[in-house]
Amino acid sequence: MVIDVSGNIRKMQARLDHPVSYSLFFNDKAVAMNELINKKITLEFAGKINCVHCGRNTNKSFNQGYCYPCFQKLAQCDSCIMSPEKCHYESGTCREPLWGDEFCMQDHVVYLANSSGVKVGITRASQVPTRWIDQGAVQALPVFRVRTRQQSGFIELLFKQHISDKTNWRSMLKGETEVLDLDLQREQLLTECAEDIKALQDRFGIHAISVLTGMHTVSIDYPVESYPSKISSLSFDKEQKIEGILQGIKGQYLILDTGVLNIRKFGGYEISLNA
C-alpha cells in the first residue's frame, strides 16, 4: 500500500474500537492511520497555513488553527472556553450568542478520566467518548450531567480542589498509566463536595445538576506497538519534514521512532503524507 496525499489537516477523528480507530483528513481525503503503524511515514509542511474557520492564509496560527482576527472575535476562542465558570452569556456579552446556544447552552458531562492519573474533565454530552480519546485516557467515568457549560465548570472547580484537571502528556505517552478505581474516586469526591454540590443544585435546580447513577468505567486501548522511553517532541514550526516509523497513536499524538507529534496543534497546516 502506497499513500501519497496532501492538504490542510485538522485533528484526527477517532472511533471507540478495540483499539481506537484513527483517521487523519487532508482536506476531504481521509487516511486510515492505524494501517500505517509499523510503516515508515513522511510528513512534510508546505509552508502554508489556512485558518480552520475562515480559510484565509495566515503566517501564524492561534489556538490550534485560527488566524488572529478569528482568534479575537470568535466565541470558541474566548477565555471562557478554557474557564467555563467565567461564561458571560447571560450578561449579554457573548461574542456569538447563536454559537453559544448551539455549543454552550447544551447538556454537558462532568467526568473522571485516567490519562496520567485521575483528573476531572468536562465535555458536551455529544462529545462522549471523543473527548476522552483526545486526552489519551485509558479509563473514563461520567459523574454528572448538567444543562450548560458554565454549570459543568462550577462542578469542575469543586473537584479541582481535590484532584487535577490536567494531563501529564509525557507520562501519558510513555504508557505508564496504572489502572485506577474510578468508582471509589467518584464516591470520595461526591462525599467531599456534598455541601457545595447541594448549593449548586439549590441555585440551578436538581434537574439541572444531576448525578449520574448506574454508570460504568469505560476502558480505552490505543493502537500502540511500542511506547517511547524518552519523549522528544516534534514540530512543523521547527522542522519542515518529519519522518520515522509510526509506532503508535494515542490521544492526538503520532508516536514515531524519532519523536512524538501532536497533530491537533497543527490544524490548518498544509501537510503532505507519504507512506
Q: What pLDDT, on the 0 to 100 scale, is given for residue 76?
A: 96
SS3 214: coil
Q: What pLDDT, on the 0 to 100 scale, is given for residue 2?
A: 85
Instruction: Give this prediction's pTM.
Output: 0.95
State percent of the chain over pLDDT 70.
Answer: 100
Is the pLDDT confidence value at 176 over 90?
no
What are 125-170's pLDDT values in tens digits?
999 999 999 999 999 999 999 999 999 999 999 999 999 999 999 9
Beta strands 21-26 and 13-15, pairing class: antiparallel
Q: Omega into 228 within 30° of 0, i.e. cis?
A: no
Measured CA to CA, the distance from residue 260 to residue 146 in angstroms comes to 36
Of 167, 168, 173, nearest in space to 229 by CA:
173
Cell numbers placing 263: 497533530
Count other Cβ atoms within 10 Å, centred on residue 34.
16
Is the pLDDT confidence value at 212 over 80?
yes
What are 242-258's pLDDT values in tens digits?
999 999 999 999 999 99
What are 180-206's pLDDT values in tens digits?
999 999 999 999 999 999 999 999 999
What are 46-93's pLDDT values in tens digits?
999 999 999 999 999 999 999 999 999 999 999 999 999 999 999 999
Asked whether the CA dihedral 153, 158, 159, 162 is positive or negative, the reply is: positive
| Residue 4 binned pLDDT confidence (cut-offs 50, 70, 90) | very high
